[in-house]
């Protein structure tokens, strides 16, 4: 995992909450013809939901697959088909089978479009879920388009300053960042920042994370002065909210260190060296697979930009 991938994951971390789409999603009021649901479908659906809630995901998957076999025999305008597909997508997503989840979610949304109003709440939540799955499968253009449509719905039904807008804006930022459209992404991230500042506080965890996002976008545009100022503010909030020895703070230290190390200043490179060392020392305490990967990534960036001796590496000197 390189630094940009790590930053992309950090950007997305805690922001892509469309995963909260539950098995109940899609439970729009059934028509009178569907109210007397087929007992076999109802039984399979109930078992699938119960198994999912108990953490028996593979069993739940089989239940919903059987339920879909039954639902396929229903008329095209029967809402149970789309609902079952949405539940299948949720289980696939939980199991990390994102391609299968995306296929099921696409079908669920398409069926929903046939029988629901264009701005039906259930339909729009399915669209939001689909945007998240597009993101997970690196289909950035599709994810951006779906997120932009859902954003308009949120702005219309809630407000342009709602937290949900900030979350969706961050999803769009991830899409743009992935295809190196950082100049387009920065104003969207700044809009999200304003929303977080208004709806939480100017020193909240959400603000700290958004500032880190913006700093990364500015760094990729080589706007070093802006990136440094933004990153310093972010680090201060990470220390305040998480503490000096927290892994989140360590990542923020590494981000600032990278910005400093890429500037032509011996003083800043010295500061970067200290920040990298503090970051790595904290990250090494983690024992999870993810912690190890992040530690290795930060260490590699440190060695590439500064070098273990505290001096710029040979590669950096020749640039």
DSSP annotation string for 85-103? HHHHHHHHHHTT-HHHHHH
Compute how many other C-beta atoms are within 10 angstroms of the C-beta atom of residue 114: 11
| Whether the Cβ atoms of residue 7 and residue 216 lie closer than 8 Å to each other | yes
The pLDDT value recorded for residue 307 is 79
**What is the Cα Rg of the chain in Å?**
23
Residue 84 and residue 75 in contact, taking contact as beta carbons nearer than 8 Å: no
SS3 (DSSP) at 299? helix
Q: Concatenated DSSP letters for 17-57?
A: GGGG--TTTT-PPPPHHHHS--HHHHHHHHHHHHHHHTT-H
Confirm if 258 and 220 have CB atoms less than 8 A apart: no
Cβ-Cβ contacts under 8 Å for 233 (sequence gap 6 or more): 211
Kind and range of the H or E element at 107?
Answer: helix 98-115
**109 and 131 Cβ atoms separated by less than 8 Å:** no
Domain ranges of the chain: 1-21+44-179
- Nearest-angstrom CA–CA distance, 179 and 176: 5
Residue length of the chain? 319
Angle, helices 3-12 vs 205-220, to 10°: value is 140
Tokens of 313: 């590496």
Is residue 154 exposed (0-12), middle (13-18) or buried (19+ Cβ within 10 Å)?
buried
User: Could you count the other beta carbons within 10 Å of the beta carbon of residue 222?
Assistant: 10
Could you tell me which CATH class the domain 1-21+44-179 is placed in?
A: mainly alpha
For the chain, 319 residues long, give each residue's pLDDT as a single digit of tens. Answer: 554 555 555 444 444 444 444 444 444 334 333 434 445 999 999 999 999 999 999 999 999 999 999 999 999 899 999 999 999 999 999 999 999 999 999 999 999 999 999 999 999 999 999 999 999 999 999 999 999 999 999 999 999 999 999 999 999 999 999 999 999 999 999 999 999 999 999 999 999 999 999 999 999 999 999 999 999 999 999 999 999 999 999 999 999 999 999 999 999 999 999 999 999 999 999 989 999 999 999 999 999 998 765 555 544 443 4
- CA gap 149, 227 in Å, rounded: 30
**Cα separation of 6 and 171, whole Å?**
16
């Amino acid at each position: 995992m390189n630094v940009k991938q790590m930053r992309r994951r950090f950007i997305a971390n805690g922001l892509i909450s469309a995963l909260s789409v539950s098995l109940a999603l899609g439970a729009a009021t059934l028509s009178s013809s569907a109210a007397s649901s087929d007992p076999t479908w109802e039984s399979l659906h109930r078992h699938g939901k119960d198994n999912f809630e108990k953490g028996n995901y593979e069993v739940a998957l089989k239940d919903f697959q059987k339920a879909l076999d039954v639902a396929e025999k229903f008329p095209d305008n029967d809402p149970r088909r789309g609902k079952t597909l949405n539940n299948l997508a949720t289980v696939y997503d939980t199991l990390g089978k994102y391609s299968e989840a995306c296929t099921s979610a696409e079908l669920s949304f398409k069926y929903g479009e046939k029988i629901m109003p264009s701005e039906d709440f259930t339909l729009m939540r399915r669209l939001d879920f689909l945007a998240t799955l597009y993101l997970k499968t690196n289909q950035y253009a599709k994810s951006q388009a779906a997120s932009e449509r859902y954003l308009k719905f949120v702005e219309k039904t809630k407000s342009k300053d709602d937290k949900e807008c900030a979350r969706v804006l961050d999803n769009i930022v991830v899409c743009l960042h992935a295809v190196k459209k950082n100049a387009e992404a920065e104003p969207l991230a700044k809009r999200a920042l304003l929303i977080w500042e208004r709806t939480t506080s100017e020193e909240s965890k959400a603000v700290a994370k958004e500032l880190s996002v913006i700093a990364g976008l500015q760094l990729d545009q080589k706007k070093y002065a802006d990136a440094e100022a933004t990153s310093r503010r972010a680090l201060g909030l990470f220390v305040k909210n998480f503490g000096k020895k927290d892994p989140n703070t360590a990542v923020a230290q590494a981000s600032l260190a990278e910005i400093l190390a890429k500037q032509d200043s011996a003083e800043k490179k010295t500061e970067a060296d200290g920040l990298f060392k503090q970051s790595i020392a904290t990250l090494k305490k983690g024992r999870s697979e993810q912690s190890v990967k992040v530690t290795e990534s930060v260490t590699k960036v440190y060695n590439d930009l500064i070098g273990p001796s505290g001096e710029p590496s040979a590669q950096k000197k020749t640039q």
